[in-house]
Structure 1
Amino acid sequence: MSVSMQSPLPTSRWSLGVLLASAFIVALGYGIVLPVLPTMVERLAGSTDPTFAARHIGFLTAAYVAAPLAVAFLWGRVSDLIGRRPVLVVGLIGFAVTLAASALAPNLPVLYVGRILNGAFAAAVVPTALAFIADTEGDDDRRARTFGWVSMASIAGFLLGPMLGGLAAGWAFDTGRAASSLQAAPFLLASGLALAAAGGVRLILPGGRVTGHPAETKNRETSSFVPGELRLLALASLAAAGLGAFEVGLTLRNNELAMSPAELGFMFATCSVVMFAVQGLVFSPFVKTAATRGLVAPAFLVMAIGLAIIPAIAGFNEMLLAVSVVAASAGVIGPLLASWVSRLTARSQGVELGIQSAVVSFGQSIGSAGAGLLFDLNGLQGTAFLAAAVVMGAAALASVRLPQQLAVETGDPGDASARSAPK
C-alpha cells in the first residue's frame, strides 16, 4: 500500500488529547484487574489456598507485561512504515476485544491467554503515541513535558482502574451477589472506552507517515546503540522490575494486613495521585529539561528506601505513607528515562520506543513473577520487597554519574562538569 508523507508539524491540541486519552484507557484496563485478581483466581480455580493464589497472581501480572517483549519492536517498526495512526487504531481495538475476553474468562487458562493478548495489543499504544510526539515536537523542553503528560495520563488511568476494580470486588463481598458479573463490569467499561478511543484516533490523528521532527540531525535508520543508550535502557528495565515487584507484593499483602479490596484500590489510587503530583512538578515549565538529569539517582535511592521499609509495616496508614514514597520516586524515573532515550537515540522513534517498551516489559515481568514466587514461599513474603530494594539501590549507584554522561552526549554547553567528564 502507498503511504503518504507528511511534513512534521507541532502536535495539535486535538491530537494530543486523543493520545492522552488512549494512554489513560490502556492504563485503566491494566489497573482495573489488580484488586479483583485474587478473587478472580479463587473463583476460576476453585481454591482458596493463599500460596496457590500468590503464584498465579504473580504469573498473570507477568504474562500481561511480558507480552510486549515479543511484539513491541514489531509495533514500532510497523508504525515507522505505515504511520502511527493505523497502529494505534489496531492496538486499541485489539486491547478492547481481549479485555472483554479476559473479563468473561471461564477458567484460568483462558484468563492467561486473554491477559497475554491484552498486553500484546496494549504494547502498540503508548510507545506509538510517544513516537508520534517525538516526530512532531522538535523542542527538547516541550517534548520532555509532553512525554510527562502521557505518563501522567497513564497514571490517571491507573488511579481510576484499581478504584473501580476494588469497588466491584467489595460490592460482591458485601452484597453476596454474583462475583463474576460484578468483576466483569469494569472490564467491559474499559473495553468500551478503548473502542471509543480507537474511533477518536481514526478521526482526529493525521494519517500517513511523518518524515522526522524539525530538530532532526541524526541518521534515524541506524541499528547501532549510541553511547549512554544501553545504560538508560538498563536503568529503565530495573525501575520497571522494582515497580512490578511492588505492585504484585502490595496486592498480595492485602490478605496479611486484612485490607478489603476497596482499601487496596484506595491504596493504588493514592499511589497514582502521588505519581501524578510529582510528575506535574518535574515536567512543569518551571523545571528545565537539563535539570532533570540529576533526579534519577536520588529517585532510585528513595524508591529503595520505600521498598525496604514495607515488610516491617503492619498498619494501613503507615503502609499508605510507604506506598507514597515508592510512588513518588517511580513517577519520576520512568518518564525521565523515556525522554532522554528518545533524545539520544540514532534510530527512528517508532523502533526506539518499541525497544524501550520491550525492555521495560521485561523488567516488570521479572519483578512481578519474582514477587509472586517469593510470596509463594512461607516465611519469605517480605523478601520480595527487600530484593527489589537492593536492586533499586544498585541502580542508584549506577546513576550517580548519569548527569555528566548525558550532558556530554547531548553536548550541553551550559554544564561545566560535562566539559571535563570523559566519554
Structure 2
Amino acid sequence: MSVSMQGPLAVSRWSLGVLLASAFVVALGYGIVLPVLPMMVERLAGSADPTFADPTFNARHTGFLTAAYVTAPVAVAFLWGRWSDSIGRRPVLVAGLLGFAVTLAVSALAPGLLVLYVGRILNGGFAAAVVPTALAFIADTEGGADTEAGDDRRTRGFGWISMASIAGFLVGPMLGGLAAELEFDLGAAAAPLQAVPFFLASGLAVAAALGVWFALPGNLLPGASVEARNRGPSMFVPGELRLLALAAVAAAGLGAFEVGLTLRNVELAMGPATLGLMFATCSVAMFVVQGLVFSPLVKPAAARLLVAPAFLVMAIGLAVLPTIAGLGKMLFAVSVVAASAGVISPLLAYWVSRITARSQGMELGIQSAAVSLGLSVGSAAAGLLFGFRGLEGAAFLAAAAVMGLAAIASLKLPRLTASVTANLRAVSARSVSE
C-alpha cells in the first residue's frame, strides 16, 4: 500500500546520504571518460578508418561522443520524472543506477566506435533518471515553500546534490587521466587498464542502487504541493520559460567549455594528466563556491541576485581561454568559469522547482531535458568549431558571447522570483486559513 505525501516530511540522514552517493556516482561515470576519450577514439578508429589521418576526425568524434551522452536525457528525462511521480522516487532511482552501471561496462568494452556511441547514449539515458529524481525527493521532503525555513532547507538540499556531483567530476577525470597515462606506457596491452575506471564506476553505481533500495522509503508517493494544487491549469507559469531557457544556455556554455578544454589540452600537448588536473581544479572551485553560496550564511533571497553576475563572469573567463597557454593562467581561467557555472546551475534548478505548477518529478525532468539539450548543443558545436583550422578559439568566444546575452536576460530574475515567492506564500496562507 502506498501513502501519498501531502505535506513535507523530514528527510533522514541515510536517505540524504544515498541520494548524495547516487549523484556522485553518476558524475564520476561521466567525468571518467573525458580525459581518455581522444585516446579511445584513436584506438577504436585509428587503425581501421583511413580518415583518422585528418586531425579534425578526433576533435569531431570527441565532441560528438560527449554530446551523445548528454543528448539522450533530452528525450527521456521528462519520462523518468513522470514515472517517478507515478510509481515513486525509489524504483526510478534504482532502475537508473542499475542501467547506468550496465551501460558503463558496455562502453568500457566497446570494440568499435559504433558500440561506443550506443553505450554512451544509453549511459546518458539512464543517468537522466538519477539527479532530477533525487532533487524531486528533496523537494518533496525538505520543507515546504511557504516558509523561510522551508526555502533554506530546500536550497541547501539542492546545493548538496550539486556538490556531490562536483565531487564526482573531481574524482572521475583524475581516474581517467591516470588510465590514459598507463596506456601510453604499456601500449596496446594496456587496453584492459583503460577499462578499470569504468568498471569501478559501474560497481559503485550498483552499490548506490542497493543503498537507495534499503534507505529510501518505498511506500510513499509524492503528493501535489500546496502551490501546485492552488494554481491554474496553464502549461507554464510566468517566468518559467525564462528559467528553463537560461538553464539550457548555461549548460551549453558548460558543454562547450568541457569539450573545448579537452581539445585545447590536446592542441597545447599538455597530456591527459594535466587535463585531469584542470578538471580537478574546476571541481574544487565549484565545490568551494557552492559551499559558500548554499550555506546558512546566504539566504535564498540574496542568492537570487548572483545569477546575472555569474553569467557575466563566466563570459569573461570563456573569452580569455583561447588567448592563454601557460598552465598557471589556464588553471585560474578554468576556475573562474567553473565557479560561475557552479553558482548558476543549482540556483536555476531551485527556482524552477519553486515556481512550477506541475509535480516536482515532471518539472525537474523537464529542467533536466533543457540542461541536456544545452549540453548537447554546446558539446557538438565546440567539437565542430575545433575541427576547422584557424577556428579553434571560436568555440570559447561564441560561448562567451552567449553567456553575455544570458547575463542581460537574467537581470529581471530577482524581481520575478521575489514576486513569485510572495504569491506562493499568500496562496499557502489562504489554503491554511480555509
TM-score range, shorter chain: over 0.9
Q: Tell me which residue corresponds to 2:407.
A: 396
The AA in structure 1 aligned to 2:355 is: L
Q: Tell me which residue corresponds to 1:406.
A: 417
- CA change 1:221–1:160 in 2 (3 A) is farther
Q: Distance in 2 between matches of 1:284 and 1:14?
A: 21
The structure where helix makes up a greater share of residues is 2
What RMSD over aligned residues (CA atoms) do the two structures have, in Å? Answer: 1.7
The AA in structure 2 aligned to 1:34 is: L
Q: Tell me which residue corresponds to 1:34.
A: 34
Q: Percent identity?
A: 75
1:404 is displaced (CA, Å) by 1.1
Q: Tell me which residue corresponds to 1:419.
A: none
Q: Tell me which residue corresponds to 2:256.
A: 245
Q: Tell me which residue corresponds to 1:345.
A: 356
Please report the TM-score for the alignment, with normalisation by the length of structure 1.
0.95
- 2:162 equivalent among 108, 132, 151: 151
1:5 is displaced (CA, Å) by 3.2
Please identify runs of 4+ aligned residues in structure 1 that moved more than 6 A.
none
The AA in structure 2 aligned to 1:5 is: S
Which sits farther off after the overlay, 207-216 or 17-26? Answer: 207-216
1:215 is displaced (CA, Å) by 5.8
- CA change 1:91–1:217 in 2 (3 A) is closer
- CA change 1:217–1:413 in 2 (3 A) is closer
Q: Distance in 2 between matches of 1:413 and 1:252?
A: 46
1:331-351 residue CA offsets vs partner (Å, 9 max, x unmatched): 000000000111111100000
- CA change 1:265–1:223 in 2 (3 A) is farther
Q: Tell me which residue corresponds to 1:188.
A: 199
Aligned residues: 413
Q: 1:152·1:276 contact (CA, 8 Å) conserved in 2?
A: yes
- CA change 1:266–1:217 in 2 (3 A) is same
Summarize the alignment of residues 283-298 of structure 1 with structure 2, pairs less than 5 Å apart.
283-298=294-309
Secondary structure of the 1:105 match is coil
The AA in structure 2 aligned to 1:69 is: V
Summarize the alignment of residues 32-111 of structure 1 with structure 2, pairs less than 5 Å apart.
32-46=32-46, 47=52, 49-111=54-116
1:218 is displaced (CA, Å) by 3.6
Q: Tell me which residue corresponds to 1:115.
A: 120
- CA change 1:211–1:171 in 2 (3 A) is closer
Summarize the alignment of residues 4-403 of structure 1 with structure 2, pairs less than 5 Å apart.
4-6=3-5, 8-46=8-46, 47=52, 49-138=54-143, 139-176=150-187, 178-212=189-223, 216=227, 218-219=229-230, 222=233, 224-403=235-414
Q: Distance in 1 between matches of 2:20 and 2:2?
A: 25
Q: 1:137·1:213 contact (CA, 8 Å) conserved in 2?
A: no
Residue segments in structure 1 that go unaligned for 5+ positions in a row: 415-423
Q: Distance in 2 between matches of 1:209 and 1:117?
A: 28
Which sits farther off after the overlay, 383-392 or 167-176? Answer: 167-176
Residue segments in structure 2 that go unaligned for 5+ positions in a row: 47-51, 144-149, 426-434
Q: Distance in 2 between matches of 1:323 and 1:218?
A: 43
Q: 2:151·2:300 contact (CA, 8 Å) conserved in 1?
A: yes
Q: 2:227·2:424 contact (CA, 8 Å) conserved in 1?
A: no
Q: Distance in 2 between matches of 1:79 and 1:156?
A: 25
Which sits farther off after the overlay, 48-57 or 29-38? Answer: 48-57
